[in-house]
Amino acid sequence: MAYGWLAASIAGIALGALIGSSRMMRAYVAPSLEFLRPLPVSAIIPVAIAMLGLTQGMALFVIAFGAIWPIMLATIHGFAVVEPRLYEVARSLQMSRGAVIGKIALPSALPDILAGMRLSLTVALILSVVCEILAGLDGLGQWVLLSARAFRSADLFAGVILLGATGYLTSIAVSLVEQRMLAWQSTAR
């Protein structure tokens, strides 16, 4: 889950920044994104199994593919709604494109990016469990499935509670990172 989410975060932010910072890229790429976005990620699992086999790499691919969408779309939105006057100031100061992205666009888009990352964390957890169940990979999802098949109620409920706790704790961790990274917002207000 963590590796897939991390890969999705890096790729989603990079692609989202590239697409979101260019009006022309948004116009050309948006229809393709809107076509791919609503596809249920669980429908990709058989294709991933056919291509990669029943491996951890398959699970990593599926988790990253599913988790990239909230991050990338939030990043595109964050970059698209940056105050236009900030870009005018950057042009006046003759800032390079990299400096504009790093000093103006990225900090402005950061609240959207972090919200997308938090949402994608939930998607990554769900997909890791689904991959473990469908592909028979070792993990908590497989343990819950085997417990259900063996009618071991205590183990089943323990697994579900552990999944809930994992989701809750990871959400709190991202929330703490978000508070720390967005501390400048409260002082700016």
Terminal CA-CA length for the chain: 36
Euclidean distance between CA atoms 27 and 184, whole angstroms = 32
pLDDT score of 61: 92
More confident residue, 21 or 171: 171
Euclidean distance between CA atoms 77 and 33, whole angstroms = 13
Q: Residue type for 76, please?
A: I
pLDDT score of 186: 63
| Count of CA atoms in the C-beta half-sphere (13 A) of 171 | 10
pLDDT tens figures, 82-124: 888 888 888 888 888 778 887 888 888 888 999 999 999 999 9
Euclidean distance between CA atoms 32 and 133, whole angstroms = 30
Domains with residue ranges and CATH for the chain = 2-188 (1.10.3720.10)
pLDDT score of 187: 58
pLDDT score of 82: 83
pLDDT score of 189: 55
